[in-house]
Amino acid sequence: MADDMGYSDLPKFGKSEIPTPAIDRLAEEGTLFTDAYVTAPICVASRMGLLTGQYQQRFGIYDNIYGKERNRLFLQQTLLPAVFQKAGYRTGLVGKWHLSGNSNKKWGQPGPLERGLGEYVGFRGGGSGYWKGAKLFRDDNPFESPEYLTDW
């Protein structure tokens, strides 16, 4: 999932100022999906829907909710990365998790490694700077980005 990416933001579908050679290669060598829809116009609910394979409304999420009590039904769901791991795939996430609260200090709820992802590099909450020195995590180990995140 590429957060906040429009259809024509990729060179494959229109003009783009940003080269995306790996995504372009996937489009050329793999299956190309030309239509996709989200179940909510905000990231937490969309991520929950994508990672469970269900409409997030089935477990009561319509907005960016963080409390364990409000997320209890989501926390009971088996996420697709866990299913993929059981089938022998390696799983990982690069970027924003944003499903365990909005803090960059500690997980408010189970993080990506506890939810079926084997590797994780990114920031935990929704709000993060992209400049050199941004606070990131590799698995549970904090570090600062060596340069502007989009370039890195």
Residues annotated catalytic, as ranges: 43, 98
How far is Cα 91 from Cα 116, in angstroms, rounded to an integer?
7
Strand partners, 119: 92
How far is Cα 123 from Cα 128, in angstroms, rounded to an integer?
7
Contacts 24+ apart (CB under 8 A), 68-76: 68/108, 68/109, 71/109, 74/48, 74/99, 75/109, 75/110
C-alpha distances in Å from residue 118, one per residue of 34, 51, 53, 74, 139: 29, 14, 19, 20, 9
How far is Cα 71 from Cα 52, in angstroms, rounded to an integer?
13
Residue 103 sits at the vertex; the CA angle it makes with 130 and 152, to the nearest 5 degrees, is 25
